[in-house]
Amino acid sequence: MNDQIQRFIFDETNVRGEIVTLENAYAEVLEKQAYPIAVQRQLGELLAAAALLTETIKLDGTLSLEVRGNGTLSLLMAESNPEGELRAIARLEEEAALPDDNASFKELVGGGRLVITLDPREGNRYQGIVELEASSLAGCLENYFERSEQLATRLWLNADGHRAAGLLLQQLPDNDDIQDEDAWDRMVTLAETVSSDELLNLEQRDLLYRLYHEETTRVFDPKGLHFGCSCSRERIANALLGLGASELRSILAEQQAIDTQCHFCHTHYHFSAAEIEALIDSPDAEAPTLH
């Protein structure tokens, strides 16, 4: 099964949708760190959701989803961009016991917030925040669209540690040319019949046929997805600069150099004392390119 996202619309209606399946990209995320089974599933759902939202919003930039919980799972984070690159991490409370394999989203995160950040290549950064009131990630994202976008949106997400998948339906604003007024309710009702096994294992076109073979469905060419990390030496340098000169020099006094790594891809970065001093003395806020 390829990692891809498939966009589709229903002709003569104001309903559109997307379906995403992930295998290799999901596996690469899980290879970076040993997560409990319940966390693997939630991380897969978040990864699928990030891909769906990036395609839905048509953002020319980076979209990030952050679940900041106050339970065993303190952070879930996934990022996606128009190039089809995906990355994700999870963090558990250090003192917390390992969660049960079947722990639900609500049991893992408790209360907290879902933060959606849109960082376009041009223009202003936008951040939307909703409380974690729903019992599932899909429900929390639906709440976001209802409150922030005012667009009826439904999501079905699933992951099993091997594959992750998601289905999204969205109702566009009313159009006088649309005659099928019952389309939204009908498409949602049909989508609610999908099983976890079908969502994870059926080929995308087979699933769409199973659900909507009696509808006039227009399916577009699929888009490939893959694991990709946006970390760089320059971005890591900027993060270090944010610690401040005093803290950086304190670290150098103890270690004579600074070694760090990207949390997403585990790429190692080494900065000598001379490079850190050059960074501190840089005249602007952006870190210089260091070699």
Domain residues of the chain, as ranges? Answer: 4-227, 233-280
- Model pTM score: 0.83
Say which CATH superfamily domain 233-280 falls into. HSP33 redox switch-like (3.90.1280.10)
- The average pLDDT across 145-174 equals 91
pLDDT band at 204 (very low <50, low <70, confident <90, very high): very high
Averaged confidence pLDDT in the chain? 87
Assigned CATH for 4-227: 3.55.30.10
Predicted local confidence at residue 29, as pLDDT: 93
- pLDDT recorded at residue 197: 95
Lowest mean pLDDT among 71-75, 186-190, 191-195, 231-235: 231-235
**Share above pLDDT 90 across residues of the chain, in percent, rounded to a whole number:** 55
Same-fold call for 4-227 versus 233-280: no
How many C-beta atoms surround the C-beta of residue 24 within 10 A?
A: 13
Residues whose CB falls within 8 Å of the CB of residue 171, separated by 6 or more in sequence, listed in order:
14, 15, 151, 152, 153, 184
| Structure tokens, 40 | 């693997």
pLDDT beyond 60 at 291:
no
Distance CA(214)–CA(163), nearest Å, equals 28
Based on DSSP, count helices (H) and strands (E) in the chain, helices before strands.
Answer: 10, 14
What confidence tier does 283 reach under pLDDT thresholds 50, 70, 90?
low
Which pLDDT score, from 0 to 100, does residue 177 have? 67
CA neighbor of 64 nearest in space, from 117, 127, 113: 117
Look-up of token digits 């759902």: 45
